[in-house]
Amino acid sequence: MEGAIQNIFGMYFIMMAAYFLKKRSPYPVGVVNNLVFNFFLPVTIFYSIVQIQNIQPSAFTKLALSGFVVLLLTYFLALMILRPLALRDSFKKTFLLGASYGNHAFLGFPVAFAFLENKGVVLAIFFLIGGYFFLYTIGFYIMTGKMTLSAFSKNPLVISMTAGLLCLLFRLPIPQLLSYSLSLMNKATFPLAMVVVGGGLSLKFFGQSKNILYTLLVSLIKLVISPLIAFALGSAFSLSTDQLAISILQSAMPAAVLVTVFSVKYKGDDAFSNSIISFTTLASIGTIPLLIFLLKQMR
């Protein structure tokens, strides 16, 4: 338990240090983001999978399905809450995506690693696949009224997961020199991911949106209700203790930067999305350690 808390503290320390560094000496967050998303995270996914001796197909199926269904149920809950309210379309769809889709990779992977090390990352990857399937089907529908799967199949994280699973399936050996190089890159992934999260923070979120109550409502759904849905669903799916814990933690992640990306691209409310991401990320400094403490008591 002490080690997990230290890891979580270390990650959030890096996040806040990156935030203050950007204020003092601005750095290109977009460049670091692309580097992590297109290189370091795929390396970590591949390396984490090939380090596991045996992956049960049932674990992949259950967690991927859990990832999709938890986000889907959270979306339906948010939709029911908003139904009686007369909100403009751009604001409404940003609310729905922000309440349902979380930062399962940049923050979710480091948290999973802090909780269960490489095993936790692998389980988080499986959950992420379900989350991505939600994003590029239901999430795309929320923002555009259409669905697409092409972006899902071209995602670097999906490709690296597929490569790792194929290596396990066909028992392809990884040369030791390459394995050592991958391990070095893997160690750099999580600190860099937190630099991206910290660099994207804005402490002016209250000033960026006149709808503070809606920001707080989204945060309640994302950080509290979504993990409760994951707990109920995981119990129904008969997930193991570790699988259930990772599912709950992934469901408790703050809103993802992709919410703003989608809002800008598909005519959502980008100011509102920034307030959602900033507030949920800062609030998670308190909620995630509390969840880890509770989940450690369950194990």
- Residue 6 sits in a domain whose CATH number is 1.20.1530.20
**In this predicted structure, what is the pLDDT of residue 104?**
92
**In this predicted structure, what is the pLDDT of residue 205?**
60
Q: Residue 148 CB: number of other CB atoms within 10 A?
A: 12
Matching residue, tokens 């795929």: 42
One-letter amino acid at 283 equals: A
For residue 81, give the nearest of 68, 66, 67, 100 by alpha carbon: 100
Q: How far apart are CA 151 and CA 164, in angstroms?
A: 20
Over the range 196-215, which residues count as b (16 or more CB within 10 Å of their CB) and which as e? bbbbbbeeebeeebebeebb
Q: How far apart are CA 54 and CA 119, in angstroms?
A: 11
Is the separation of the CB atoms in 33 and 206 below 8 Å?
Answer: no
**In this predicted structure, what is the pLDDT of residue 220?**
96
Q: How far apart are CA 167 and CA 50, in angstroms?
A: 7
For residue 284, give the nearest of 247, 245, 252 by alpha carbon: 252
**In this predicted structure, what is the pLDDT of residue 209?**
57
What token pair was written down for 247? 């599912």
User: Total domain count for the chain?
Assistant: 1
**C-alpha 111: how far from its chain's center?**
10
Low-confidence ranges of the chain (pLDDT < 70): 1-5, 53-54, 205-210, 299
What is the pTM for the complete model shown?
0.84
For residue 267, the 8-state DSSP code is T
Domain boundaries, position 85: 2-298
Is the separation of the CB atoms in 221 and 99 below 8 Å?
Answer: yes
